[in-house]
């Protein structure tokens, strides 16, 4: 009798602990995601390729995740301002996404003496979205069609030359500075607050040279409003197969590509990162979307979060060395 009483007492004592364990397990699970609107931050003004990609993806993410996905342009400081805003976002719950670009993620830490965030410490990679070659392009008024002609024109000094970029520290800026270093030219850099405004002034003739991401300039290259001289990738672009690479054009050792992806604040629960990655991969499985995406000049490169992280680290080292070797700074 005494033993049965002790057994019942022991079982009664365990009930609160069991209930606590169930509650603890429930608390450990992330809340339903998304539970509110998702803000998709683009660290550049509207009109450029980064903005275009976000606006293509936003309705697809919204359709598959539910809720509302709002594109929010936060340009400035070569992409640093918008990127830093996501890096500081509280709470780290996956409801603020960054359209992460190679400039602020991999190049800017070597260009700026002081950064408002640390890319690999403050942000978590989710998925890579693009791998764009840049294209060296000029205004038709220059009357040239080759890189050698551009170099000769620059060295002659009779025609004022200036190249536009999407801002200090962007791939367009780095591409121009490396060109000046390797080709021993002094084409003046004119930074803008995004690729859209820079491209508009190139089309208007206010500047006459630009290294731009292929996707945003493609309509003007195919209609003759701009003249392509070379692409910066190691191989020719399938989109513009007639245009030589920089190495083929005589500028050996020159290679730069611009990439984009999605990142979230460090500390975002892993199940949310995994869900975002899987959702983007599902979007790219849609043949119609893949066709639209490839039409802007980039292949489909979406993979794991880990592979995107490796790319960021590798390019931070490679491009950082190029920046230092060329002596490029912005502050």
pLDDT of the residue at 47: 81
pLDDT of the residue at 2: 46
Give the three-class secondary structure for 191.
Answer: strand
Of 74-78, 198-202, 291-295, which one has max mean pLDDT? Answer: 198-202
Position with higher pLDDT, 34 vs 318: 34
Position with higher pLDDT, 193 vs 286: 286
pLDDT of the residue at 24: 40
Which pLDDT band, with edges at 50, 70 and 90, does 152 fall under?
very high
What is the third-level CATH fold of 38-131+258-326? Answer: D-Maltodextrin-Binding Protein; domain 2 (3.40.190)
How many other C-beta atoms can be found within 10 angstroms of the C-beta atom of residue 141? 10
Which pLDDT band, with edges at 50, 70 and 90, does 15 fall under?
very low
Percent of the chain with pLDDT over 70: 90
Same fold, 38-131+258-326 and 133-231: yes
Question: What CATH number does the domain located at 133-231 have?
Answer: 3.40.190.10
pLDDT of the residue at 303: 96
- CA 135, chain centre distance (Å): 17
Between 103-112, 148-157, 273-282, the lowest mean confidence (pLDDT) is in 103-112
Position with higher pLDDT, 91 vs 253: 91
Which pLDDT band, with edges at 50, 70 and 90, does 111 fall under?
confident
Report how far residue 101's alpha carbon sits from residue 143's, in angstroms, rounded to the nearest whole number. Answer: 33
pLDDT of the residue at 30: 53
Domain residue ranges in the chain: 38-131+258-326, 133-231
Position with higher pLDDT, 184 vs 111: 184
Q: What confidence tens digit (pLDDT) does each residue in 265-298 have?
A: 999 999 999 999 999 999 999 999 999 998 888 8
């Amino acid at each position: 009798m005494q033993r049965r009483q002790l057994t019942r007492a022991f079982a009664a004592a365990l009930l609160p602990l069991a209930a606590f364990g169930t509650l603890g397990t429930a608390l450990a699970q992330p809340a339903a995601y998304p539970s509110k609107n998702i803000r998709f931050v683009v660290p550049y003004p509207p009109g450029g390729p980064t903005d275009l990609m976000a606006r293509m993806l936003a309705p697809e993410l919204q359709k598959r995740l539910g809720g509302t996905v709002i594109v929010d342009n936060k340009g400035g400081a070569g992409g640093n301002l918008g990127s830093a805003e996501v890096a500081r976002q509280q709470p780290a719950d996956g409801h603020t996404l960054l359209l992460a670009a190679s400039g602020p993620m991999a190049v800017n830490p070597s260009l700026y003496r002081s950064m408002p965030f640390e890319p690999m410490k403050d942000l978590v990679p989710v998925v890579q979205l693009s791998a764009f070659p840049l294209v060296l392009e000029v205004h038709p008024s220059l009357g040239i069609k080759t890189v050698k002609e551009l170099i000769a024109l620059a060295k002659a000094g009779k025609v004022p030359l200036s190249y536009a970029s999407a801002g200090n520290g962007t791939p367009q800026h780095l591409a121009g500075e490396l060109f000046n270093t390797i080709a021993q030219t002094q084409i003046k850099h004119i930074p803008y607050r995004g690729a859209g405004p820079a491209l508009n002034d190139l089309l208007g003739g206010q500047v006459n040279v630009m290294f731009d991401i292929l996707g945003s300039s493609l309509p003007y290259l195919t209609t003759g409003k701009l003249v392509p001289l070379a692409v910066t990738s190691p191989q020719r672009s399938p989109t513009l197969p007639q245009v030589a690479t920089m190495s083929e054009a005589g500028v050996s050792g020159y290679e730069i590509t611009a990439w984009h992806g999605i990142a979230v604040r460090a500390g975002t629960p892993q199940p949310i990162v995994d869900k975002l990655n899987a959702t983007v991969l599902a979007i790219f499985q849609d043949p119609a979307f893949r066709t639209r995406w490839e039409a802007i000049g980039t292949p489909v490169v979406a993979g794991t979060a880990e592979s995107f992280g490796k790319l960021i680290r590798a390019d931070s080292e490679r491009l950082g060395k190029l920046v230092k070797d060329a002596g490029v700074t912005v502050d």
